[in-house]
Amino acid sequence: MTRSLLLGCIADDFTGATDLANNLVRAGMQVVQTIGVPRAPVSDVDAVVVALKSRTIPAAEAVAQSLAALRWLKAQGCGQFYFKVCSTFDSTPQGNIGPVAEALLEALGADFCCVTPAFPENARTVYKGHLFVGDVLLSESGMRQHPLTPMTDANLVRVMQAQSRGRVGLVDHAVVRGGPERIRARIAQLRSEGVRLAIVDAVADADLLALGAALRDAPLVVAGSGVAIGLPQNHGLAPRPEAAALPEPTGLRAIVSGSCSVATQGQVADFLACGGAARAIDPLQLADDREGLVAATLEWAAGELKEGPVLVYSTADPGSVRAVQQRLGVQQAGALVEDALAAIAKGLVQRGVRQLVVAGGETSGAVVQALGVEQMRIGRQIDPGVPWCHAAAPACDAQLHLALKSGNFGSADFFRKSFAMLA
Ligand code: ADP
């Protein structure tokens, strides 16, 4: 008999979905992440995380996509639902956190949910409803100048109220510290006052564990990835190695990097310093002869792969990136490089690569699409937020291990560490 799904999650972006899946695995659940609403059913796991790209699209579209994901998860028999939002609460007065949360509540026939982006391990804490990013208020962090979702108010009760129809309240830290019973009592009180959504304070893992226990019977949780550490315990699950078990690694090893973030620059430099086989991709040369450069890179890789992992990278310092963008245009340069790196990743898998590390959020999206990956089983964490995954790549008729690392994640030796962990 197949197990029924305990938790159905809807994430508003791809790397956020992986972050949530990773936390659920660490807390003892077996998890599959899907790219968009899946076509095929998923079996033999405790939780599914459906990754959408709905954070900054028009609110009505975000609602429609989230409801489609909810319908699919309900059809799989999920008992509880989790809407994963950004840990910096990225949103505007138009949404999308409020509209999606309220639409999910309505579709579930529920009248209340808790909301918190807190994840103390990642330096996201909420106190008296105010979100701190590291040592500063959200409104004083870099998020103040975000191009799409500038966060100029750290008071999440106010931020949430501006984008919600129902009343927004607060479960403050004095209550959370009092434990699950106190939290449940406060929730009952807020509900009786007609509050529909409540921001919850949390400044330490103990707060998230208490909140998780209090939310045992809640139909919907709206949160960053932090609350995930407190939910598996409600099903008698505790951290265990089997949760992260993946099939045995096989095949050749490669890294494809299109991230120009500071952490990735360090990781590429580390790989080069250790004498790894690497090939840089020049976007201007790509613009001249994409086919020729992709073919030449794959031919070079074919000669090196047997010796050890190869690295193909467009990673460059900000000065070089700006120069390329001035020549080609920002969007055009990005799309050109993503498309070429995705073609190279596919070519590498066709040449026997079965352990693939991809650096860059957008780059990962392009690679996953080129490989035709629809779902990934989540394995052990390499560095915070980045697990090894295992997936079918129908475009190459292959199964492989994948690690998708967004920009600023991972230590300097991340590439070497990744393969060492699989070996
Ligand atoms: P990160 O997660 O670090 O933000 P992404 O892959 O999401 O990485 O974004 C990096 C973007 O920069 C992609 O669109 C990629 O194609 C583009 N890019 C990569 N290398 C270069 C380069 N050398 N010059 C210009 N753009 C580049």
The yes-or-no verdict on residue 376 having pLDDT over 60 is yes
* 361 vs 316, residue with greater confidence: 316
pLDDT of residue 147: 79
Domain boundary among 194, 214, 243: 243
What is the atom index within ligand 1 of the atom nearest the CA of 315? 20
Six-digit token string for 71 = 């319908």
Please give the distance, rounded to the nearest whole angstrom, from the Cα atom of residue 269 to the centre of ligand 1.
17
What is the atom index within ligand 1 of the atom nearest the CA of 408? 3
- Per-residue pLDDT tens digits for 129-170: 999 999 999 999 988 888 788 999 999 999 999 999 999 999
The three-point CA angle 16-338-33 to 5° equals: 30
Please give the distance, rounded to the nearest whole angstrom, from the Cα atom of residue 118 to the centre of ligand 1.
29
Please give the distance, rounded to the nearest whole angstrom, from the Cα atom of residue 299 to the centre of ligand 1.
24
Mean pLDDT of 35-49: 92
Mean pLDDT of 16-26: 95
Q: Are residues 118 and 177 in the same domain?
A: yes
**Total of domains in the chain:** 2
Please give the distance, rounded to the nearest whole angstrom, from the Cα atom of residue 337 to the centre of ligand 1.
7
Is the separation of the CB atoms in 209 and 233 below 8 Å?
A: yes
Please give the distance, rounded to the nearest whole angstrom, from the Cα atom of residue 326 to the centre of ligand 1.
14
Residue 2 DSSP symbol: P
Whether residue 1 lies inside any domain: the answer is: no
State the virtual CA torsion across 285, 287, 288, 292 in degrees, nearest 10: 70
Whether residue 194 lies inside any domain: the answer is: yes
Is the separation of the CB atoms in 55 and 90 below 8 Å?
A: yes
- Per-residue pLDDT tens digits for 111-133: 999 999 999 998 999 999 999 99
Q: Are residues 12 and 155 in the same domain?
A: yes
* Residue 226, amino acid: G
Please give the distance, rounded to the nearest whole angstrom, from the Cα atom of residue 390 to the centre of ligand 1.
24
Q: Are residues 304 and 164 in the same domain?
A: no
* Residue 271, amino acid: F
Pick the residue whose CA is nearest to atom 18 on ligand 1: 334
What is the atom index within ligand 1 of the atom nearest the CA of 325? 25
Q: 154: burial class by Cβ within 10 Å (0-12, 13-18, 19+)?
A: buried
We report the CATH number of the domain holding residue 359 as 3.40.980.20
The yes-or-no verdict on residue 4 having pLDDT over 90 is no
Domain boundary among 227, 243, 259: 243
pLDDT of residue 265: 95
3-state secondary structure (DSSP) of residue 289: coil
* 147 vs 85, residue with greater confidence: 85
Q: Are residues 253 and 214 in the same domain?
A: no
The yes-or-no verdict on residue 3 having pLDDT over 90 is no
Containing structural domain, residue 207 = 7-243
Q: Are residues 64 and 191 in the same domain?
A: yes
Detail the DSSP E strand segments found in 45-165: 47-51, 80-84, 113-116, 124-127, 130-133, 136-137
Q: Is 34 left (phi over 0), alpha (psi -120 to 50) or beta?
A: beta
Q: Are residues 161 and 266 in the same domain?
A: no
What is the atom index within ligand 1 of the atom nearest the CA of 261? 3
pLDDT of residue 167: 98
Please give the distance, rounded to the nearest whole angstrom, from the Cα atom of residue 268 to the centre of ligand 1.
14
- Per-residue pLDDT tens digits for 179-227: 999 999 999 999 999 999 999 999 999 999 999 999 999 999 999 999 9
Rounded CA-CA distance 364/57 in Å is 20
Please give the distance, rounded to the nearest whole angstrom, from the Cα atom of residue 26 to the centre of ligand 1.
30
Mean pLDDT of 22-41: 95
Pick the residue whose CA is nearest to atom 25 on ligand 1: 321
Residues near 68 by Cβ (< 8 Å), separated by ≥ 6? 37
Whether residue 293 lies inside any domain: the answer is: yes
pLDDT of residue 2: 60
The yes-or-no verdict on residue 281 having pLDDT over 60 is yes
What is the atom index within ligand 1 of the atom nearest the CA of 281? 23
Please give the distance, rounded to the nearest whole angstrom, from the Cα atom of residue 311 to the centre of ligand 1.
16
Enumerate the β-bridge partners of residue 116.
Answer: 223
pLDDT of residue 395: 97
The yes-or-no verdict on residue 39 having pLDDT over 90 is no
Pick the residue whose CA is nearest to atom 11 on ligand 1: 334
pLDDT of residue 41: 87
Q: Are residues 250 and 239 in the same domain?
A: no
Average predicted confidence (pLDDT) for the chain: 95
pLDDT of residue 339: 97
Helices H, strands E: what count in the chain?
Answer: 14, 18
Q: How confident is the model at residue 406 (pLDDT cuts 50, 70, 90)?
A: confident
Pocket test for ligand 1, best of 13, 260, 290 (most atoms within 8 A of CB): 260
Range from 10-14, 23-27, 370-374, 406-410 carrying the lowest mean pLDDT = 406-410
pLDDT of residue 102: 98
Rounded CA-CA distance 231/222 in Å is 13
Mean pLDDT of 337-359: 98
Radius of gyration of the chain (CA): 22
Please give the distance, rounded to the nearest whole angstrom, from the Cα atom of residue 139 to the centre of ligand 1.
27
Q: How confident is the model at residue 385 (pLDDT cuts 50, 70, 90)?
A: confident
We report the CATH number of the domain holding residue 204 as 3.40.50.10840
3-state secondary structure (DSSP) of residue 7: strand
Protein residues whose CB sits closer than 6 Å to any atom of ligand 1? 258-261, 264, 283, 314, 316, 320-321, 324-325, 333-334, 337-338, 360-363, 406-407
Mean pLDDT of 52-70: 96
What is the atom index within ligand 1 of the atom nearest the CA of 363? 6
Whether residue 2 lies inside any domain: the answer is: no
Pocket test for ligand 1, best of 264, 286, 337 (most atoms within 8 A of CB): 337
Q: How confident is the model at residue 384 (pLDDT cuts 50, 70, 90)?
A: confident
pLDDT of residue 422: 95
